Structure 1
Amino acid sequence: MTSNHSKISALLITYNEINHIEDVIANVRFCDEIIVVDSYSNDGTYEKLNEYTDVKVIQHKFKNFADQRNFAINQVNNNWILFIDADERITPELQKEILEKVSSNTQSVAFKFKRQFIIQGKKIKYCGFQTDTIFRLFKKGTTKYREDRFVHELPIIDGETELLNHKMLHYSFNDYESYRKKVEHYGKLKALELHKKGTQPNAFKFYSKFLYKFIFNFIFRLGFLDGIAGYNICKLNALGIIYRYRELKRLSVTPK
């Protein structure tokens, strides 16, 4: 029997994740509670979720990732929160490590996971992903996300943190076009964040950053060792800066 202090609530935020939703729900069955905050999906995700009698599903309008995650945090009932995206998976080794940590007398209140990026069955070892880590497990009441960070959200943690040993799997996209759309979406959110801070569009600055990001990840972070997949990923990640610039330019000329 799981003691109250070590019970875990799995949290997901979703939008149009019909290709992932069944697998990710099965993946977090070891948790004591599963809560999904859905941003009004229109691909059958919401309907599929409602087939589960033991999954709490809430629809909440999407403003940005930080707002959505903070809303989700407020819905949990247990002492530990495991955030997982629909395209992520907990390995058996990581699951064991998670359960050991939450049942121990650890002083840490938040845990960072390493992630293994995978595309079409191929593990991406470089392109900057070799140092990819993210906070995914924390005690209730110790963590919230900065409201001024709309994308690549940043948690504010009150207490000690720790990096776990085993990796989470990250199936970020099924094909390059879906990844391009994801990068474009993130770029637009980042542009809105910059616009609210008063940043002005500067073509030279943004196109220089595009070239720097591609060269840095493809050459210096060894993306070329991942072959054609590495080239495409580095190019798409760099394109996020161009999408950011275009959206910032549009926002700067849009009447308030």
Structure 2
Amino acid sequence: WADETLVVDDESTDETVRLAESLGARVLKRRMDVEGRHRNWAHVQAAHEWVLSLDADERVTPELAEEIARLFTDGPRFDVYAIPRRNYIGARWIRYGGWYPSAQIKLFKRSVFRWEETTVHPRAFGPAWGTLRHDLIHLSYRNLQDFADKLDRHTTLEATKWCADSRKMGRGKAAWRSVDRFIRTYVLKQGFREGRVGFFIAWMAGKYQWVSYRKYLAMRREAGARPTSGGPATDADARGTKPATARTGAGS
């Protein structure tokens, strides 16, 4: 149902390229540098104006494919569309804790949309968007250990971003954000309804903030800079460990 399948390969050493080409995909190789920049580069390589951008761990359901096909038959009302995602840990679909619907921009006209060129959690820049009805399957984590391993990698990227942005972050602010993220995830967003897994998710959401701060502190010390002292605050850009939902910024 797509006119072209384009795969951007991050210099993989397994059978990814061979398998993709055997299924009719056009494969381009590019080493991942900055997430937002990598995505923007990929979109420019597409043969058509409209792009459905998917990560390797995302799957289009038959219902979603039918909805997208119908959208173009009837004529799109928007130039950008977000798609709700079902996020999984292993075989378990996580419905609470802010993990669903977790809509993210995936379908758009490349001429009017771009991602912020940053290393982690890039923001979306473009016009107002619509939201499709059917879900995209997101195989977020293989298991809880995979969850913890990815948190370690993502907190390193987060701390690097804070340093690059000269973000002011002190112990008090980091502690407040950690507690705030746990309460939001477990109580306000009803993560408790997921049982022990919900508690683990909320705990990791809070831990994400604190571990990011500790790594930020180490990076600042290594660079010879004294860490700043920040008081309790709620940062609109604070991220937990749940999959990020795209937000809009100024038009490109």
What TM-score results when the alignment is normalised by the length of structure 2? Answer: 0.81
In structure 2, give the amino acid aligned to 1:36.
Answer: V
Corresponding residue for 1:134? 104
In the alignment, which of 182, 193, 198 is matched to residue 150 of structure 2? 182
Cα gap change, 1:45 to 1:151, in 2 (>3 Å): farther
1:106-145 aligned within 5 A: 106-145=76-115
Match of 2:65 in 1: 95
Query: 1:151 matched to which residue of 2?
Result: 120
In structure 2, runs of 5+ residues without a counterpart are 225-252
The number of residues matched between the two structures is 224
2:223 is aligned with 1:255: yes
> Which structure carries more strand by proportion?
1
Conserved 8 A contact 1:183-1:237:
no
Q: For 2:100 and 2:15, how far apart are their aligned partners in 1?
A: 31
Aligned to 2:170: 202
Give the equivalent residue in structure 2 for 1:32. 3
- Partners of 2:214 and 2:22 lie apart in 1 by 41
Whole-angstrom distance in 1 between the partners of 2:130 and 2:23:
34
Deviations 1:3-46 (A, max 9, x none): xxxxxxxxxxxxxxxxxxxxxxxxxxx3221222222234x154
What's the secondary structure of 2:167's corresponding residue? coil
Structure 1: state its 5+ residue gaps.
Answer: 1-29
- Displacement of 1:50 in angstroms is 5.7
Q: Distance in 1 between matches of 2:103 and 2:193?
A: 21
Following the alignment from structure 1 to structure 2, what is the Cα–Cα distance between the partners of residues 251 and 83? Answer: 33
Secondary structure of the corresponding residue to residue 136 of structure 1: strand
Whether the aligned pair in 1 keeps the contact of 2:8 and 2:30 (CA below 8 Å) is yes
Whole-Å Cα distance in 2 between the matches of residues 179 and 170 of structure 1? 14
What's 1:56 paired with?
26
Deviation, 1:128, is 1.0
- The one-letter amino acid of 1:32's match is D
Q: Distance in 1 between matches of 2:8 and 2:205?
A: 27
Measure the CA separation in 1 of the matches of 2:23 and 2:130. 34
> Match of 2:120, as an amino acid?
V
Are the aligned partners of 1:117 and 1:124 in contact in 2 as well (CA < 8 Å)?
Answer: yes
Q: CA RMSD in A?
A: 2.0
Q: TM-score, normalised by structure 1?
A: 0.80
Over the matched positions of the two proteins, sequence identity in percent amounts to 24
Residue 171 of structure 1 corresponds to 139
Task: Supply the distance in 1 between the matched residues of 2:58 and 2:20 (Cα, whole angstroms).
Answer: 21
In the aligned structure 1, how far is the partner of 2:203 from the partner of 2:12?
A: 29
